[in-house]
Structures are given as C-alpha cells and as structure tokens.
Amino acid sequence: MFFVKGDKVKERTTVLNEIAHTDSLTLIANHRSYVEFCDKIIQQQTPFSVIIYDLDYFKKINDKYGHDVGDECLIAVVNAVSSALRKDDDFHARIGGEEFAIILTNTSMLELDVIAKRVLKCVKDINIPQHNDIKITCSMGSTLITKFDGATIKDIIKVADNALYEAKKLGRDRWVHKHYNIN
C-alpha cells in the first residue's frame, strides 16, 4: 500500500515539475526552464548558438485585435518556429511577453544560418484564420560560442541580445549575428 502512495507522489511531483517549467500559453519551456538549461549547457562546453527573437510591433496586434487574437498569434509563432528547428537537439523557450530564445546545441555557423533564415520565413508565412490582414514578422539576434575560456552564459546572452537590438534598429524583420569574442 505504501508503495502505491509513493508512486502517486512521484507522478504528481513529475506533473508539477512540468507545469513549473512550461509556459502555460505556448506550451514550450518558460523562463525558469531557460535559465536552468543555460546553466547546464555552459557547463557542458560544447559549441552552441543562442538566438533571441521577438515579434515586431506585437503591441499593435494586441491593441487592434485584442489579447485573445494576440495569444493566437503567439501560439502560431511558437508552432511555426518549432517546425523550423531540429527536432531533438534544439531548445525553444518563451522568456518574456513576445520574446523567445532558441539554443542550438552542437551547431556550426552554417547550421545556424540555415535555421535562422528558416525561422524568419516560417514566421513571415503565418496566416491567422479569420484575420488574414495580420502580418507577423520577427527580429532576431544570435551568437555562436565555440571557445569557453571564462565565458559566462550572461555574457553570451548579452551578445545575442545586442544583435537583436541591432536587427530592430536596422528595420526589423531580420536576423543579425554577432560573433562571441572572449575578452
């Protein structure tokens, strides 16, 4: 009898852990999961890329159509972007309102280039049923790290974030890559 209760506790703990690490709207990893994954990946010291992206002018969609349609757009974006990624190797998380992160493990610059361009296209191709006039684009920033001499995840993410802001400054609906340089 005690064994059965223990199994139920384990099962409930597993479910609660999944809830604590999943974004309730988009059903991908949440910010907490992202932070934990980043901490783990930096310790492994295998090459990886970080892409930070957010939706261009998303507030206008929420203001014009309402938050329900905005939520529909977020879900559509996550599904489109997830379809552009390598299935088992890539990590995708919602890290803020309309801001997301992708971590590509064991990746090269060539693979990053292919995936980033595919993500931009998949987002641009989104069609929201009953709202065909909504056009969604995203801006993306990335970096690739292959050498880890003193690198911190905070420094790596800052480079990708700076690239994202440059993409926005250059007109949005684009991807900017910045090389990670060890100081």
Catalytic annotation, residues:
98
Q: Dump the DSSP string for 17-75.
A: HHHHTB-TTT-SB-HHHHHHHHHHHHHHT--EEEEEEEETTHHHHHHHH-HHHHHHHHH
Instruction: Report the C-alpha gap between 114 and 23 in whole angstroms.
Output: 27
Q: For residues 180 and 107, is the Cβ–Cβ distance under 8 A?
A: no
Instruction: Report the C-alpha gap between 76 and 82 in whole angstroms.
Output: 10
Q: For residues 91 and 83, is the Cβ–Cβ distance under 8 A?
A: no
3-state class percentages of the chain: helix first, strand second, coil last, to nearest 5 = 50, 20, 30
